[in-house]
């Protein structure tokens, strides 16, 4: 049976009036590492004071998913609730319960509803409000929610926000305890998903992006390959967000980030049941290097020695990793946010800057190799292999200059079957932990063996580089995979097996209608 653990940021957040349950501090969970990763059947309830991006509360949910634990709220829910631009995509799902709310004669009325594990905290309110509370919780699985409703000719949701335990009013403590106990007694349930069916593909790109994941020639080759496969590939930009539902698939060829329209596009596409690469789960998992570090550690994937650091544990790195030490901001791309510290002074200076952006940062041992392998993985199968050489007189593939310029190293593309088997195998193992989409896995081949540096959800696919061996076959393979997924969506689902009806039992006399 699964064990439930409640995570709080401060011991006093779990009040004296609350029941005696297993309560663990967020710091203990974040710092537990292998001890927590070894525990498999855990259901965590994250009751931290903030779910802000890169906060302690955010990292608790992020690392819980990396360690294979069930967690409420999940990172997807946290991101959805971070802005109306994201949670607004799902408001149509509340149309029916909103229509059932009692109408008011007032021209304008605003009320606030507190939702505790799917239960309305105001028990005297009508059942219609309970229905809305349950539906909101099923959509945004967050322990405590605060919903603002406005009536102007009809009810509508104007705001949905996560409510934290430290801000729970005292008078709602009994309702919280009852809702929590009810939730812990239920089986874990996943949110429902929706599907749609069409055969046009939107290819999202930014024509002004300096380091775009696909150059203009590659975008044209995607369109050419689409025509050959009977697939309409249309280039779209961020201004086409409102038209996204017109397509049945989305391929993102713009650098993905969390607080960015690329993530909103991915979320919208997934909510419409579209086939999407990069899917929002892959974006969440790959974008944050702390999540990747924990995931690779928990699953035994070979990698350089790595530590996740907080301000108070910064100098722990000196006992585990010799200088120079590579420091990384959790979210970065194209070698951005990656720094090398040669001694303690540089370590403190760099870390001080990085901690302004994130409560956790990553420290990794410095392993120089003249090139990194990039293995492209599609649908859990190796697709292409490249060697990315370090830029001239530098230790990274891309050297970023203070004036905003950059310098890139050379490349060598080879047939996937000619790449070292150990490199391909470890890349495949790492990518399969993320999902079944399109990934680029960076690997260093060292005397200790092949070591995974990171998994990219939005790998480069440039004409003249990654397609050097496969040519148009690279683009066809990706689009053919998406078509296959669309075809599977259109196949009728087999009927559920039927069971013989149970023999009816006679009802006791007291239960019979008079």
Mean pLDDT is lowest, of 194-198, 225-229, 502-506, for 194-198
pLDDT in tens, 103-152: 766 667 888 899 999 998 876 666 778 888 888 998 889 999 999 998 88
| pLDDT 10s digits, 223-253 | 999 988 889 999 999 988 888 888 889 999 9
Q: Is the pLDDT of residue 455 over 60?
A: yes
Residue ranges of the alpha helices (H) in 67-111?
Answer: 75-80, 84-87, 95-99
CATH code, domain with 120: 3.30.470
Query: What pTM does this model have?
Result: 0.68
- Specify if 497 maps to a domain: no
Contacts 24+ apart (CB under 8 A), 99-102: 99/154, 99/155, 100/128, 100/131, 100/132, 101/126, 101/128, 101/129, 101/132, 101/149, 101/155, 102/126, 102/128
User: What is residue 106's predicted lDDT score, i.e. its pLDDT?
Assistant: 61
Residue with structure tokens 């007032």? 106
- 96 and 180 housed in the same domain: yes
Does residue 217 sit within a domain? yes
Q: Tell me, yes or no, whether 299 lies in a domain.
A: no
**Co-location of 100 and 160 in the same domain:** yes
% of residues, the chain, pLDDT over 70: 86
Residue 401 has pLDDT above 80, yes or no: no
How far apart CA 181 and CA 103 sit, in angstroms, is 33
Please check whether residues 24 and 45 belong to one and the same domain: yes
pLDDT band for 435, please (50, 70, 90 cuts).
very high
Confidence of residue 93 (pLDDT cuts 50, 70, 90): confident
Query: What's the Cα-to-Cα distance from 264 to each of 149, 198, 446, rounded to whole Å?
Result: 24, 20, 39
The per-residue pLDDT for range 300-339, each reduced to its tens digit, is 999 999 998 999 999 999 999 999 999 988 775 544 678 9
pLDDT for res 283: 94
Based on the fold, state whether residues 418 and 452 are members of the same structural domain: yes
Residue 511 in domain: no
pLDDT score for 125: 62
For the chain, how many structural domains are there in total? Answer: 5
Q: Is residue 379 domain-shared with residue 466, that is, in the same domain?
A: yes
Q: Which of 40, 396, 78 is nearest to 267 (CA)?
A: 78
Q: Which residues contact 487 (CB under 8 A, 6 or more apart)?
A: none
pLDDT tens-digit series, residues 362-381: 999 999 888 999 999 999 99
In a domain, 190, yes or no: no
**Closest by Cα among 240, 247, 235, 246 to 261:** 240
Q: Residue 354's domain is classified under what CATH number?
A: 3.30.1490.20
* Same-domain pairing of 271 and 331: no
Asked whether residue 425 is domain-assigned, the answer is: yes
Distance from C-alpha of 372 to C-alpha of 419, rounded to nearest angstrom: 12
Total number of residues shown for the chain: 514
Which of 79, 96, 124 finishes a domain? 79
Which pLDDT value is given to residue 496? Answer: 55
Q: Is residue 250 located within the same domain as residue 329?
A: no
The answer to whether residue 505 is domain-embedded is no
**Full domain range(s) for residue 357:** 305-365
Quick check: is 508 in a domain?
no
| Whether residue 205 is found in the same domain as residue 274 | yes
CATH number of the domain enclosing 243? 3.40.50.20
Q: Does one domain contain both 9 and 67?
A: yes
Q: How far apart are CA 285 and CA 491, in angstroms?
A: 30
| Domain final residue pick, 79, 94, 117 | 79
- Maximum distance among all Cα pairs of the chain, rounded to whole angstroms: 92
* Average pLDDT of span 418-440: 97
Residues 262 and 247 in one domain: yes
pLDDT value at residue 250: 97
pLDDT at residue 413 in the model: 95
The answer, yes or no, to whether residue 471 has pLDDT greater than 50, is yes
Same domain, 332 and 356: yes
State the pLDDT at residue 315: 94
- Mean pLDDT for the stretch of residues 188-202: 54
Q: What's the mean pLDDT in 278-294?
A: 90
Regarding predicted confidence, which is higher, 397 or 264? 264
Are 361 and 375 contained in the same domain?
Answer: no
């Amino acid at each position: 049976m699964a064990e439930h653990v409640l995570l709080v940021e401060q011991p006093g957040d779990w009040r004296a009036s609350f029941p005696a349950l297993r309560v663990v501090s967020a710091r203990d969970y974040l710092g537990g590492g292998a001890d927590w990763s070894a525990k498999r059947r855990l259901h965590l309830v994250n009751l931290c004071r903030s779910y802000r991006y890169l906060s302690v509360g955010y990292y608790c949910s992020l690392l819980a998913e990396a360690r294979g634990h069930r967690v409420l709220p999940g990172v997807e829910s946290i991101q959805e609730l971070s802005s109306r631009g994201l949670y607004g995509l799902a408001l149509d799902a509340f149309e029916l319960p909103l229509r059932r709310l009692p109408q008011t004669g007032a021209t304008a009325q605003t009320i606030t509803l507190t939702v505790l594990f799917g239960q309305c905290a105001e028990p005297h309110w009508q059942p219609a409000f309970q229905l809305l509370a349950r539906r909101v919780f099923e959509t945004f699985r967050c322990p405590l929610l605060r919903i603002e409703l406005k009536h102007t000719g009809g009810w509508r949701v104007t705001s949905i926000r996560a409510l934290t335990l430290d801000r729970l009013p005292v008078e709602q403590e009994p309702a919280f305890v009852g809702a929590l106990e009810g939730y812990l007694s239920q089986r874990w349930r996943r949110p429902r998903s929706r599907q749609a069916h069409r055969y046009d593909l939107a290819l999202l790109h930014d024509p002004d992006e300096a380091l775009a994941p696909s150059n203009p020639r590659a975008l044209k080759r995607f369109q050419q390959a689409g025509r050959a496969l009977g697939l309409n590939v249309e280039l779209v930009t961020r201004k086409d967000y409102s038209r996204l539902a017109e397509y049945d698939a989305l391929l993102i060829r713009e650098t993905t980030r969390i607080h960015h329209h690329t993530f909103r596009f991915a979320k919208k596409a997934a909510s419409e049941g579209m086939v999407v690469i990069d899917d929002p789960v892959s974006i969440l998992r790959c974008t944050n290097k702390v999540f990747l570090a924990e995931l690779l550690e928990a699953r035994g994937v070979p990698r350089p020695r790595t530590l996740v650091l907080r301000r108070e544990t910064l100098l722990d790195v000196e006992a585990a990793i010799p200088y120079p030490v590579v420091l990384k901001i959790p979210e970065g791309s194209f070698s951005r946010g990656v720094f090398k510290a040669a001694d303690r002074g540089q370590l403190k200076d760099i870390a001080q800057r990085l901690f302004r952006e994130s409560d956790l940062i990553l420290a990794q041992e410095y392993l120089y190799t003249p090139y990194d392998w990039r293995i492209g993985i599609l649908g859990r199968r190796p697709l292409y292999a490249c060697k990315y050489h370090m830029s001239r007189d530098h230790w990274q593939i891309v050297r970023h200059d203070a004036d905003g310029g950059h310098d890139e190293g050379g490349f060598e593309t080879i047939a996937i079957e000619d790449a070292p088997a150990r490199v391909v195998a470890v890349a495949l193992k790492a990518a399969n932990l993320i999902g079944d989409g399109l990934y680029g896995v960076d690997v260093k081949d060292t005397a200790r063996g092949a070591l995974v540096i990171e998994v990219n959800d939005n790998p480069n696919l440039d004409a003249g580089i990654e397609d050097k061996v496969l040519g148009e076959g690279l683009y066809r393979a990706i689009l053919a995979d998406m078509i296959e997924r669309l075809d599977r969506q259109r196949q009728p689902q087999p009927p559920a097996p039927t069971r013989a009806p149970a023999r009816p039992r006679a009802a006791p006399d007291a239960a019979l209608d008079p």
